[in-house]
Amino acid sequence: MLETSHSFWYRRFRNAAYAAVGVAILWTVVIILPFDPFSNLLPIMIGGGAGTWLLLGYVIYLAVGIGGFACLASLLSTVELSEGRIPDLLVMSVGLVALFVGVTASCLLLGVAGAVGGYAQTIQHLPEGNLEAILVPYADVARVTSAVAVMGACATILGMATARGQKRSE
């Protein structure tokens, strides 16, 4: 049995996966609400073009937000329970926060950009030039939040790779 003098990181990443499930459920509910302005979201997604960003943000969040954190929790379970190693507190804290905030923010920004741009394109029928002016600010911020997510992933992998061994108690 391992000493339990530290808090296991796999539990924290598993909880992040649960939180991502909550965000995904909320996002799903918003997409299917039958009253304005939400009732426009499905036609925007179906309309393609900028509305595809909404669908893409949603699907990426399902894969990375839920699947990514669940996979990391599984890997951390192996590191902590099977191998008996302890990841660095600071590195893992930075990794978890940066990854969760970066993934969630970038996917939500992609979704909001798709909803706003898709509304302008599909419902209002604005010209391409106007559409680009609407989407560029979202893309620039999403680029930064994506970089934060990548830094968080790198910190998490570094934390797992450099985890120190601990003694097993009998």
Q: Work out the burial of residue 30: count CB atoms within 10 Å of its CB; fewer than 13 is exposed, 13-18 middle, 19 or more buried.
A: middle
- The pLDDT score that the predictor gives to residue 47 is 83
Which spans in 7-88 are helix H? 9-32, 41-46, 51-60, 69-77
- Can you give the residue ranges of every domain in the chain? 9-30+51-165
- The pLDDT score that the predictor gives to residue 6 is 62
Confidence of residue 138 (pLDDT cuts 50, 70, 90): very high
Tokens of 113: 């950009």
Question: Which has the higher per-residue pLDDT, 130 or 100?
Answer: 100
Question: Quick one: what percent of the chain has pLDDT higher than 90?
Answer: 72
Both ends of the chain: CA-CA distance in Å? Answer: 7
> Does residue 90 surpass a pLDDT of 90?
yes
Q: Once rounded to an integer, what is the mean pLDDT over residues 137-144? A: 93
